[in-house]
Amino acid sequence: MASMPGEAAQTQAGKPMLSVFRGERRDPPPMWMMRQAGRYLPEYRALRADKGGFLDLVYDSDAAAEITLQPLQRFPALDAAILFSDILIVPFAIGQNLTFVTGEGPRLTPPLVDAAVDSLQPYPARLEPIYQTVAKVRARLDPSKTLIGFAGSPWTVATYMAAGQGSREQAEARRLAYADPQAFAAIIERIEAVTVDYLSGQIAAGAEAVQLFDSWAGSLSPWQFEQYVIAPTARIVAALRARHPHVPIIGFPKGAGGKLAAYARETAVDTIGLDETVDPSWAAANLPDGLPLQGNLDPLALIAGGKTLRDAVRRILDAFAGRPHIFNLGHGIQKDTPIARVEELIRLVKGDE
């Protein structure tokens, strides 16, 4: 990427996370945790009990900003805040109805196995409160910390839009992609276009880096992975880079496994997020030299603590000792994670133990 102008370089110099995104090795590495703002924190649970349901919190920008900042208030050694929101805000803006059913998760109607994406009435104003949250967080954030925005990648978002809810095998979306590739391509294209605008809006509001979550990338055949994960991600990266050439983009294709090398080459993301199934030594040896890597502690090893946690952290740190690395989990923090385990992890990574 092109070198940064002087002002941007000075801003980066005081932010360890941004310097690693740009290819610098830091020791100890900067760290954050996926889902670090959320239900494992008692202060989050208290605010949710006071404010109402999940979607109510997302659309209350003051509450969402407070939740985004809660982990850094409790764990000041964390190097980044990640926006509190949800990947299904994009289909909500595309025109599906979105609800969260207690104990069952999100529901989108109408499911696109039964309706065409072109039949939906777009509501781009549904994105505006999220930008307000970003701006409020950035105004309050410690200047040494980095604000990360995010969106779901087109394939993962499409699985929810097709089925109307989450599923472990993503069978409805995969069947639709095989049976009617033109209809499925239209869904992907619509998600892609809205995602570019959505992430661009987050950046304009103050996000300093963005992450694309492809949580269901591992369910696809190699051919479908190329068509529905790599190709749309590459187009989003190119479009964002044209608008915001100095903003790092993290790609997190969970379950990609051996396809990670192709993903890294062909999408041109600035950083690859690794899930917990990836051998860090393999990643260090097989992914492009100098490419920053993020991850990849198993969230259940975090809960275990003790020797299990110490050994897992050491394996990761040793494997990535020769390249830019951001310490993170391999997926989201579990809701039953004890606060003491997070404190223990931070001490291990930051060198206090």
Give the active site residues: 35, 39, 48, 86, 160
Report DSSP letters for 250-311, one per residue. Answer: EEEETT-GGGHHHHHHHH--SEEE--TTS-HHHHHHHSPTT--EEEEE-HHHHHH-HHHHHH
Token code pair at residue 232: 């749309």
SS3 26: coil
d(CA 328, CA 297): 6
Q: d(Cα 42, Cα 336) in Å, to the nearest integer?
A: 11
Rounded Cα distance, 158 and 172, in Å: 10
CA distance 117 to 162: 10
Nearest to 68 by CA among 202, 212, 216: 202
Helix (H) or strand (E) holding 99: strand 97-101
Residue 211 near residue 148, CB atoms below 8 Å: yes
How far is Cα 214 from Cα 233, in angstroms, rounded to an integer? 9
Classified as helix, coil or strand, 344 is helix
First to last CA, the chain: 37
List 152's β-bridge partners, or say none: 213
Helix (H) or strand (E) holding 209, with range, is strand 209-214
